[in-house]
Amino acid sequence: QKEVEQDPGPLSVPEGAIVSLNCTYSNSAFQYFMWYRQYSRKGPELLMYTYSSGNKEDGRFTAQVDKSSKYISLFIRDSQPSDSATYLCAMSAGGGNKLTFGTGTQLKVEL
Partner 1 sequence: GAVVSQHPSWVICKSGTSVKIECRSLDFQATTMFWYRQFPKQSLMLMATSNEGSKATYEQGVEKDKFLINHASLTLSTLTVTSAHPEDSSFYICSAPADRFEKLFFGSGTQLSVL
Binding site for partner 1 (CB under 8 A): 8, 32, 34, 36, 41-46, 49, 88, 90, 92, 94, 96, 98-99, 101-104, 106
Of residues 68, 57, 61, 87, the one with CA closest to residue 30: 68
Q: Which is nearer to partner 1, 17 or 61 (CB)?
A: 61
Shortest distance, CB of residue 108 to partner 1, whole angstroms?
Answer: 14
Closer to partner 1 by Cβ: residue 18 or 46:
46
105-110 and 11-14 strand pairing: parallel
Residue 10 preceded by cis peptide, ω within 30: yes
CB of 103 to partner 1, least distance (A): 4
Minimum CB separation from partner 1 for residue 16, in Å?
A: 27
Task: Report CA-CA distances (Å) from 67 to 11, 63, 72, 97, 107.
Answer: 25, 13, 8, 18, 25
Closest contact distance (angstroms) between CB of 50 and partner 1 is: 10
Q: Which is nearer to partner 1, 25 or 36 (CB)?
A: 36
User: What is the helix (H) or strand (E) element at residue 107, kind and residue range?
Assistant: strand 105-110
